[in-house]
Structure formats: C-alpha cells, structure tokens
C-alpha cells in the first residue's frame, strides 16, 4: 500500500521562555501557549512568594532568559520535575545580575589632583580627558574620574533577604487560611485543609475572653436557627402521626381474631414507631417552650425522622390498614324475596360458574375486553394505543378503543407498587415528585410471575443465609439513534439486581426501579444526588428490618435482609450521584485521595496523575475522609473560598451534602468502597476501546495508507460463527462505515459493535501490518488492549481469572503511552485500574451489558408521541415494570433442556434415544456446528446432542491448532480431526468460550477470531 505524506506538525511559541514546542508539550489558553516546565515554574513562584512582582521587575528579555535557564538546569540535573529550590536559586541569580547591572551605572565621583590619580595607577592622559575643576583650597586643578563599584555579595544578601521575607509572608498567609502546616512549602500535598490553629498561651486574657464571647454568640445564633427548624418539624409531624396512630389502633380493635404472624409483626413495628416518633415530637415541642431553647442557650436534639420519613410511614400505615380490612368480619346480606326460588333455578351450572368467577361476581363484557387487552399488551413491541387498536379490530362490536386507559386498570400489578418521592425545586422551593417502585413488592411480583427468578432467589437465599447484596445501577439514556440522540427525551433509569444470583447477564432478570427526565432532575435541589439518596432511603425504610418474600414452593415466607448496596455506574453517573468532581476536576477519582488530572501532579508532593500505573501509590479514600471534606465544605460560608475548597478537595458541596454518602441512615449500606466503576462504560461504551480505535485509525491512514474500503474488504473475508454475539450483529464489513469512523475522533459504534470491531482490527494488524515499522507501537497497544478485554470476559465466567487483569492493564497503559503519548490518556484509564479490587471485594465481575440491552425498551417508549406529557416519567415507569413482569422465563433455563427440532441420526438408534440440534444450559444456548473451547482448553465443533433417558450427551469433532508456536493474540488456525467423534456430557459446556468469526481455507484449515 502506498504511504501517505505526513502533514507538517503544528508548533507553538511559549509565552514565557519564547521557545517553540509541539502542541502536546504544554497547554494552550486561548491564544496564549505555555510549555509544561515554564507553567510549573510560574506556578511555583506564585505559590512560594504569593505574587510575581519580583519576576515582573525584570525586563521581558531577562524573564525569557530566566525561564530558558530553568530549562537548561532541568536537563542538566535530569530531574522529572522542577523543584522550588531550583526556581528560587535561578530567580536570585537573575535579580542579583539585574541589580549589579543597575549599580554599574552609578559612579563614585570625586575631584582629586592629577598626581593623586597618577599615583593610584591611572594613566595621565586618561585623567586629563576627565572633567576638571579648579580647587580654591588646594590652589590647583582637580579631576573627576568616574569609578564603577560592584559588590556582588552585598547585592546577593539583599535580594536573598527580600525573597525569604516574601516567602515567609506567603507561608504565613496560607497558614492563616487554615490550610495546615503542610502549606509551608510549595511542594505541599493537596490534602484535607486543617482546622485553624489554636491560640497559644501568650494571648492576653482579655483577647481570649472576647473571642470566647464572640464564639458563644455565634453558637447561640446557630442554636436559635437549628431549634426553630427542629420545632417546625416536630409541629408538622405531630398531627399526621397522631391521626395515623389513632386510625390503625381503632381498626385493629375491630378485628376480633388473632392476626397472622407476618401481619402482626408489621402492625407491632408500625405502631411502635408511631408511638416513639409521636412521643419524641411532643417532647421537642415541650422543650421548645423553655426560654433557654428559644434564646439558643442549648440546642435541641433533632428527631430521628424528617417529613419524608413521616410520609413514608403514613404509606406503611395505609398498607397495614389494607391488610387489616381484609380480616374484618363480613356482615351477612339480607335475602330478597324470591331469591330461594331463583337460586334453585340456577342449579349446579351456576354454582360452577360462580366458583370459577373472580371475587365480586361473574365476568362481564368489560372484563373480557380487559383480559384481551392484557393478553395483547404482553407483546413488548406494541404500545398501549396499538394494543387497543388490535382489540378493537378483532371484536365484532367494534369495542375496545378506550380499554384500560386509566393507569390503575392499565397496570393492575405495577400501579399499587408505585411510590412517591418528594423532592424540592431548586428555584421555587416547591415539591417536585419523583416516582419509584416498592422494592419488596416488585421482587414479590417478579417471583410470582417468573419461575426462573423464583429459582434464582431461592438458591441465593439458601447459599447466603437469607442475606443479600443489592446492585443499584443508574444510567442516563437518550431516545433515538446513538449517532443522533434526542436529548429532549433524555431520562435517568434505575435498575436493581442481586449480587448472589447465579445468572446476571439476562436482562429480564434486572428490575426497573425508577425513571425520571433529566430536565426535571436539573430542576431539583441537589440534582441527581438528591434523587439517588431519596430512592435508597425509600428502599431502606421498606427493608430496614428485613422484607418478606413468598417463594411458593417452600411453603413458609422467608425474611430477607440487605447487607449492603453496590452503586454500579459509569464515571458520569458517579459524579452526578455522589457529588464528586469527576473526570473534569483536579481530583478526578472518588476512590483516591492523591490522584490528579494529567500533568497536574508535577509540583505536588506524593501526588500522581492518572497516567501512573502503580495503583499502590494512590491513597484509598474512606468514609472518614469524605465526612471530613463535607465538614470543611459545610463550615466554609464564603463563596470564593468554598469554590477553591471544592477544587482542592475534589467534591461539589451541594451534590456531596445532598447525596447518599452523607445520609446517616445509609451508613451501613453505602460507602466509597461500594461505589463501583462500570467496566462496560470504561472500555466499550464511549470508552478506552473507542479512543484506541480512533488513534489506531489515524496511524493506519498516516503510516500505511489504509482506507475504510480496504478494511471493509478484509472484514468481508470473515463469516459470523453460529450462535455467537457476532451472529446477532450485521455482517462485519458494515462496521467500517464513514458514519462510525472519524479522522480526528473516537470510533462511534455501540458497545457490542465496539467489541467486535476491536477483534477485527487486531486481526488486521496481525495479518496486514507486520511489515510497517512505524505501526508497530500502535499494534502493540491494540494487542495489549485486546488482552485486557479477554481477561475481563474470562472474569465473568471465573472471577479468579482477574488475578492477571492489573498487570495487563499496566502493560496496555505503557504501550499506549509509547504509541500516542500519555497526555492522550483519559481518566477512564485510571478508573479501570480499580476493577481488580472491585472483583476481589465481592467475588464477582459485574458490568452493565444487560442494562444496555434493557435500555432499548425505554428508547421504544420514548419514540411515541406522548413523550412530552407531564406524566411521562410515571407512565414510562409503569410500562417498563409491566413489561418486566410480563417477561416470564421458565426455570428450566437453568437446567439442560432440549430446544429446536430433532436432528437426523447418522446411525440407527433405539426408539427411546433422540438426537437434537440445540440445548440450553444455565440460560446459554448451544447449537449444531458451534465451535466451543471447554474449560480444560480443548476445542470442539458440536455435531448434535443425544438424549437418552435423563442424560444428554453431545457428539463433538475435535479441532487442533496448527499455529501454536506463533501464538497470535486473536487469529488462530485450526484443523479438524477426522477420527471418531468425541462423546461428552452436555454439562461440560458450562463456562465454555466460542469464537466470533471464522474463515475457511482451501487446505481444509479454519482461521478463527476469539
């Protein structure tokens, strides 16, 4: 292929040292460019001296010489970064040189006789050329010879004293701001700001007393404000609590019989909480009446609840009362005249119909319409309006056009599970309602509807002693095509899953918990963090003391407990939900205290940027460090100082204080350790793979002259393997389209396509780019990335495979830096380094591929005309939950079951033996002609499955590698063994791996991409 002429590299001139550099050697601020060493030295001067006055006293040429000298000293000393001592010494030298130059202009002008000058060694001719003056005292001519005096030692001492004084003043100023003793040096670490220093013993008693009085007055003012809030909360809570307590106790008195054990336990717990909260609220009102509380002499203890908790408890009371009403004695109805004769005429047939009819009477015409609508509604691709049209068309009376319009009728199971989450509008202070589902009710409804979910729940509870870990996933989804999304229909979706489930890759097992428009979230005070906190508190209020599930087959209900909650999200969702600064901040990682953005850690001691591969150098964050940061942000009231603190601490004050990490009720559930970076978003969805493919594509065009048409031709040589993820995608050549590839950007495909394109590009690099020396660094980086992705896939099947993940990630980062420079690295490179620790903590590798597939249901709903309705979030949530409950999966998917049609037997077999083309085991389908690599490393091609009694065997044809010595990363060549077929139990297919693409050769060998 013909190589393409390289474009001239763009250079910029540094505004400080006046030297030219490439664009990646510094940073461009508008039209002003600064190289990295000069920017670091300039920052050290400002931090060390408090200002740049001393440097600006030099001329422009002298300032350029100063920074150029720093460049030379940095190269001579071979240091990775410029130290403050080096900058200070160079500045002293420049200032002294300038001072000596100025001093050289001054002269020691004295008028002395000619003989005196000659005796001092001055030539007579030189002296006579100088100004002369007749001296009346000496009665002779005297001459003035200008003498230039230069005292370097005195000048250096004066400049040094001035520099040291400014350095001490800057240090004292930083210390006075409460930044701790560590601020004494410009190389200080960006750590939590320390509290203000205490008064020393030399302070006068009057000053100390005055300060104490001032502090006491401030505290009293705070107490008054706090006490007023507590009194207002208690006053608001007394009325609903007393009414709820009175209503539930009166209804309980009307139930003559003993309550069931589960109902009695919930009733006792609810009444006890009502009494305790009511007693506490009345006690606070009584304490408020005291003069000391109103004057702020002492602070009232806030109650253990807020109005949101009172509202949730009120809903719980309603559910308890609903259960009690079902136990009320039913009064006997008075018989009407002629009823006996009418009943006798009905006969036995009427009795049978009455027994089959639902409670409340026989089926009516409206009921049949409703049943027809619900049957059609189970088709997920049809909207509610389309289902009504189907019902109307199939009926002769042309009815059904308005069937099930009301949400209560339209969603008979999902609607009672709906819960309101009261949030506050950031501008008006009004209540903004968010909608969520009741987790216990949703889980029970899914257990009743889905046998597979029931089986997995039963196994999980048995293995873990009824203790579970909840996976809480949130993602922002846009309607429309991924290349042109409709941001006006963007919403935040919440899904939940249990960590203990054996199968987590089936999207129908993830439950939809909440939907809210992004536009509405932006209007809420606290934003996404407040919504996440409200949802978790709602779940906590319903499951704090456990929740009961009825598994049906076991007979007795089971009490389940949630031990912890994993917040599984991408980095943008983590930023929005927790309040961290995220990828755009100086401190960009929520899990590390000393991790800074690219090129920001050069002058900061013990801090490292995201390009550092040594994960052990980063200090892990904890709940204690997060609370310390929150306390410091809460104390700072000045806007400018708070913004500076937010930058240095890496937290957004509003999001952090409103988020789940600061909720006391969630301390045992949520922590920094339970926040997990999603590997799907880190690598596949607008992640590292897309960036790597974009960089690789730029190098391929520049150094090898490859076009998209040539890549598509290479991809067309491969065929999709049967029953593989690639078989569900388009033909491989269609991935190389101009819409997905840009010369200066990332690859733009969705996550599934991104994984397959990586595989094809690795194969192309191995087979076509070996002769291009300029491409080898990019090929090594791409191959190293493929190794990381392979380990991630293996870790899903076997978590112990993650033991090699960190080493492969470090190797990829090193290769990426060699190929494209480390300045191109994004924070996702660092986030992905935490994957090994996440897998080790919980023993599972969980990603969000199932939720990405599940998002398609929302996109289908968002495309409808009613997506601009005010009730959009509520309606979509009910639709998605109803669809989840309608998608019932049989429990046989976990066991070996035969699928498809019978295969023609190659040899005569007994009548009780049958051959089949497909089987399913642990929710994975295996079919004829599928190539599998078993757990022992052997590779086979499936011929057919034979069922005999209770046993299912598979007949296989073995494949052996022909290029084992070369050991390529992705492309492998195989040859079929013509011996007798191998027979193995079909359960050996567990944790097997299949290739994505294959290519047949004329010599009978087959190449495969794994």
Question: How do 467-480 and 558-569 pair as beta strands?
Answer: parallel
Average pLDDT over residues 860-885: 77
Choose one of 128, 144, 160: the last residue of a domain.
Answer: 144
Q: Tell me: the pLDDT tens digits for 687-719? A: 899 989 998 888 888 888 888 888 889 888 888
Asked if 170 and 301 sit in the same domain, the reply is no
Asked if 568 and 589 sit in the same domain, the reply is yes
**Res 4: pLDDT:** 41
- Residue 102 pLDDT level (bands cut at 50, 70, 90): low
Selection from 166, 171, 188 nearest residue 91 by Cα:
166
What angle do helix axes 688-699 and 776-797 make, rounded to 10 degrees? 160
Asked if 589 and 632 sit in the same domain, the reply is yes
Cα(510)–Cα(853) distance, rounded to whole angstroms? 11
Q: Which residue in this structure is represented by tokens 């409340």?
A: 360
Q: Tell me: the pLDDT tens digits for 636-662? A: 888 888 888 888 888 888 888 888 998
**Res 443: pLDDT:** 92
Structure tokens that stand for 145 in this block: 């010879």
Question: How do 595-596 and 558-569 pair as beta strands?
Answer: unpaired
When mean pLDDT is compared across 553-562, 867-876, 950-959, the lowest value belongs to 867-876
Average pLDDT over residues 272-288: 86
Is 760 a residue whose pLDDT tops 50? yes
Is 66 a residue whose pLDDT tops 90? no
Asked if 135 and 63 sit in the same domain, the reply is no
When mean pLDDT is compared across 240-249, 333-342, 867-876, 890-899, the lowest value belongs to 333-342
List of residues 6+ apart from 100 with CB closer than 8 A: 150, 152, 155
SS3 809: helix
Is 554 inside a domain boundary?
yes
Average pLDDT taken over every residue of the chain: 80
Asked if 400 and 425 sit in the same domain, the reply is no
Is 200 inside a domain boundary?
no
Is 646 inside a domain boundary?
yes
Average pLDDT over residues 393-420: 76
Selection from 924, 929, 923, 985 nearest residue 954 by Cα:
985
**Res 337: pLDDT:** 44
Structure tokens that stand for 612 in this block: 């550092």
Is 191 a residue whose pLDDT tops 50? no
Region label for 258, one of left (φ > 0), alpha (ψ between -120 and 50) or beta (otherwise):
beta
Q: Tell me: the pLDDT tens digits for 319-353? A: 888 888 877 776 655 444 444 443 434 333 333 33
Asked if 806 and 859 sit in the same domain, the reply is no
Domain residues for the domain of 449 are: 415-679+846-875
Selection from 708, 715, 747 nearest residue 730 by Cα:
715
- Residues of the chain with pLDDT > 90: what percent? 9
- Residues of the chain with pLDDT > 70: what percent? 84
More confident residue, 378 or 626: 626
Q: Indicate the number of domains in the chain.
A: 7
Selection from 648, 642, 650, 644 nearest residue 604 by Cα:
648
Asked if 510 and 644 sit in the same domain, the reply is yes
Selection from 778, 708, 781, 788 nearest residue 755 by Cα:
788
Ordered DSSP codes for 338-379: THHHHHHHHHHHHHHHHHHSPTTSS--HHHHHHHHHHHHHT-
Asked if 485 and 624 sit in the same domain, the reply is yes
Is 358 a residue whose pLDDT tops 80? no
List of residues 6+ apart from 377 with CB closer than 8 A: 384, 387, 404, 882, 886
**Res 101: pLDDT:** 63
When mean pLDDT is compared across 139-148, 196-205, 976-985, the lowest value belongs to 196-205
When mean pLDDT is compared across 54-58, 800-804, 912-916, 964-968, the lowest value belongs to 964-968
Average pLDDT over residues 92-119: 70
Asked if 455 and 597 sit in the same domain, the reply is yes
Burial class (CB in 10 A: 0-12, 13-18, 19+), 587: buried
Ordered DSSP codes for 94-125: HHHHHHHHHHTT-B---EEEHHHHHHTT--HH
Is 337 inside a domain boundary?
no
Is 748 inside a domain boundary?
yes
Is 770 a residue whose pLDDT tops 70? yes
More confident residue, 107 or 325: 325
Q: Residues 64, 68, 71, 77: is their CA dihedral positive or negative?
A: negative
Q: Tell me: the pLDDT tens digits for 496-537? A: 999 999 888 888 899 999 998 888 888 888 889 999 999 999
- Residue 364 pLDDT level (bands cut at 50, 70, 90): very low
Asked if 312 and 439 sit in the same domain, the reply is no
More confident residue, 190 or 698: 698
- Residue 288 pLDDT level (bands cut at 50, 70, 90): confident
Average pLDDT over residues 103-108: 51
Is 108 a residue whose pLDDT tops 80? no
Is 837 inside a domain boundary?
no
Is 889 inside a domain boundary?
no
When mean pLDDT is compared across 125-129, 307-311, 352-356, 633-637, the lowest value belongs to 352-356
Asked if 382 and 437 sit in the same domain, the reply is no
When mean pLDDT is compared across 88-97, 430-439, 594-603, 625-634, the lowest value belongs to 88-97
Is 397 inside a domain boundary?
yes
Selection from 597, 657, 582 nearest residue 626 by Cα:
657
- Residue 199 pLDDT level (bands cut at 50, 70, 90): very low
Cα(716)–Cα(731) distance, rounded to whole angstroms? 8
* Prediction pTM value: 0.61
List of residues 6+ apart from 190 with CB closer than 8 A: 586, 587, 594, 596, 604, 607, 648
Average pLDDT over residues 823-847: 89
When mean pLDDT is compared across 215-224, 394-403, 556-565, 901-910, the lowest value belongs to 901-910
Is 202 a residue whose pLDDT tops 70? no
**Res 176: pLDDT:** 62
**Res 484: pLDDT:** 60
Q: Tell me: the pLDDT tens digits for 585-643? A: 888 888 898 888 888 888 788 888 888 888 888 989 888 888 888 888 888 888 888 88
Q: Tell me: the pLDDT tens digits for 344-353? A: 343 333 333 3
List of residues 6+ apart from 84 with CB closer than 8 A: 44, 48, 185, 186, 187, 603
Asked if 222 and 319 sit in the same domain, the reply is yes
Cα(946)–Cα(462) distance, rounded to whole angstroms? 33
**Res 353: pLDDT:** 35
Choose one of 384, 405, 426: the last residue of a domain.
Answer: 405
Q: Tell me: the pLDDT tens digits for 23-37? A: 778 887 777 888 888
Selection from 554, 326, 550 nearest residue 445 by Cα:
550
Q: What angle do CA 995, 999, 1001 make, to 5 degrees?
A: 135
């Amino acid at each position: 292929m013909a190589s393409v002429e390289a474009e001239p590299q763009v250079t910029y001139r540094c505004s400080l040292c006046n030297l030219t550099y490439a664009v990646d050697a510094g940073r461009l601020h508008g039209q002003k460019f600064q190289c990295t060493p000069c920017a670091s030295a300039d920052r050290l001067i400002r931090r060390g001296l408090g200002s740049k006055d001393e440097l600006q006293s030099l001329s422009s040429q002298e300032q350029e010489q100063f920074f150029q000298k720093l460049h030379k000293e940095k190269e001579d000393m071979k240091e990775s970064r410029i130290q403050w001592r080096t900058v200070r010494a160079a500045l002293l030298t420049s200032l002294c040189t300038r001072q000596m130059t100025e001093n050289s202009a001054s002269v020691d002008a004295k008028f002395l006789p000619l003989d005196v000058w000659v005796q001092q060694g001055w030539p007579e001719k030189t002296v006579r050329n100088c100004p002369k003056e007749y001296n009346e005292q000496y009665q002779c001519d005297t001459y003035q010879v200008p003498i230039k005096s230069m005292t370097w030692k005195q000048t250096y001492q004066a400049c040094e004293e001035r520099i040291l004084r400014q350095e001490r003043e800057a240090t004292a100023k930083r210390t006075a701001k409460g930044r701790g003793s560590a601020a004494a040096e410009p190389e200080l670490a960006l750590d939590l700001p320390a509290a203000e220093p205490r008064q020393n013993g030399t302070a006068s008693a009057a000053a100390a007393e005055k300060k104490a009085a001032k502090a006491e007055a401030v505290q009293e003012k705070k107490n008054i404000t706090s006490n007023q809030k507590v009194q207002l909360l208690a006053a608001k809570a007394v009325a609903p609590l007393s009414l709820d307590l009175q209503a539930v106790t009166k209804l309980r008195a009307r139930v003559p019989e003993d309550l069931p054990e589960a109902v009695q336990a919930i009733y006792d717990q609810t009444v006890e909480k009502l009494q305790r909260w009511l007693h506490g609220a009345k006690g606070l009102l009584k304490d408020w009446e005291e003069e000391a509380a109103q004057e702020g002499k002492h602070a009232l203890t806030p109650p253990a609840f807020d109005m949101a908790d009172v509202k949730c408890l009120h809903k719980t009371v309603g559910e308890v009362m609903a259960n009690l009403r079902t136990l009320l004695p039913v009064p006997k109805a008075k018989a009407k005249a002629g009823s006996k004769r009418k009943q006798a005429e009905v006969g036995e047939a009427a009795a049978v119909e009455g027994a089959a009819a639902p409670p409340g009477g026989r089926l009516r015409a409206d009921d049949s319409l409703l049943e027809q609508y619900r049957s059609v509604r189970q088709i997920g691709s049809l909207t509610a309006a389309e289902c009504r049209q189907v019902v109307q068309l199939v009926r002769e009376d042309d009815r059904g056009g308005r069937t099930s319009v009301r949400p209560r009728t339209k969603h008979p199971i999902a609607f009672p599970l709906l819960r309101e989450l009261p949030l506050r509008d950031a501008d008006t202070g009004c209540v903004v309602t968010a909608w969520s589902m009741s987790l216990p009710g949703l889980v029970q409804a899914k257990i009743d509807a889905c046998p597979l979910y029931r089986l997995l729940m039963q196994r999980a509870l048995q293995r873990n002693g009824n203790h579970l870990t909840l996976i809480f996933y949130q993602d922002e989804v846009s309607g429309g095509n991924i290349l042109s999304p409709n941001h006006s229909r963007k919403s935040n979706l919440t899904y939940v899953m249990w960590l203990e489930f054996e199968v987590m890759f089936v999207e129908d097992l993830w439950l939809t918990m909440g939907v809210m428009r992004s536009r509405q979230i932006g209007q809420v005070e606290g934003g996404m963090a407040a919504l996440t906190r409200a949802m978790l508190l709602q779940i906590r209020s319903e499951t704090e003391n456990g929740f009961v599930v009825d598994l049906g087959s076991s007979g007795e209900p089971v009490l389940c407990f949630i031990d912890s909650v994993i917040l599984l999200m991408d980095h943008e969702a983590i930023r929005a939900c927790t309040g961290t600064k995220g990828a755009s901040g100086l401190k960009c990682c929520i899990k590390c205290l000393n991790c800074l953005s690219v090129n920001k850690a050069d002058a900061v001691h013990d801090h490292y940027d995201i390009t550092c591969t040594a994960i052990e150098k980063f200090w892990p964050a904890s709940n204690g460090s997060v609370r310390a940061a929150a306390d410091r942000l809460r104390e700072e009231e000045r806007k400018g100082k708070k913004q500076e603190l937010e930058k240095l601490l890496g937290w957004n004050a509003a999001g952090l204080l409103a988020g789940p990490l600061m909720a006391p009720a969630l301390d045992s559930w949520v922590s920094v350790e339970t926040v997990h970076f999603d590997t799907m978003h880190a690598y596949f969805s607008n992640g590292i793979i897309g960036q790597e493919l974009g960089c690789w594509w730029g190098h391929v065009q520049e150094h090898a002259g490859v076009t998209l048409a040539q890549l598509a031709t290479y991809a067309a040589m491969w065929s999709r393997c049967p029953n593989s993820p690639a078989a569900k995608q388009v033909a491989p050549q269609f991935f190389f389209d101009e819409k997905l590839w840009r010369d200066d950007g990332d690859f733009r495909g969705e996550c599934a396509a991104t994984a397959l394109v990586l595989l094809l590009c690795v194969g192309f690099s191995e087979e076509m780019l070996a002769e291009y020396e300029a491409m080898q660094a990019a090929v090594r980086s791409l191959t190293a990335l493929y190794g990381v992705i392979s380990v991630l896939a293996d870790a899903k099947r076997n978590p112990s495979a993650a033991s090699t993940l960190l080493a492969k990630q470090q190797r990829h980062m090193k290769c990426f830096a060699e190929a494209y420079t480390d300045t191109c690295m994004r924070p996702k490179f660092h986030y992905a380094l935490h994957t090994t620790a996440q897998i080790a903590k919980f023993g599972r590798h969980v990603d969000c591929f199932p939720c990405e597939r599940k998002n398609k249901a929302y996109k289908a709903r968002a495309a409808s005309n009613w997506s601009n309705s005010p009730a959009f979030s509520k309606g979509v949530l009910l639709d998605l939950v109803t669809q989840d409950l309608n998608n019932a999966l049989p429990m046989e998917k976990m066991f070996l079951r035969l699928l498809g049609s019978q295969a023609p037997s190659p040899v005569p077999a007994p009548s009780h033996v049958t051959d089949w083309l497909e089987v399913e085991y642990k929710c994975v389908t295996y079919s004829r002609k599928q190539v599998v690599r078993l757990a022992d490393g052997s590779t086979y091609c499936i011929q057919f499955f034979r069922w005999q009694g209770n046993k299912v065997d598979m007949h296989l044809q073995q494949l052996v590698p022909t290029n084992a010595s070369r050991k390529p990363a992705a492309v492998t060549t195989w040859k079929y063994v013509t011996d007798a077929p191998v027979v193995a139990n079909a359960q050996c297919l567990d944790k097997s791996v299949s290739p994505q693409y294959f290519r047949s050769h004329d010599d009978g060998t087959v190449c495969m991409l794994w």
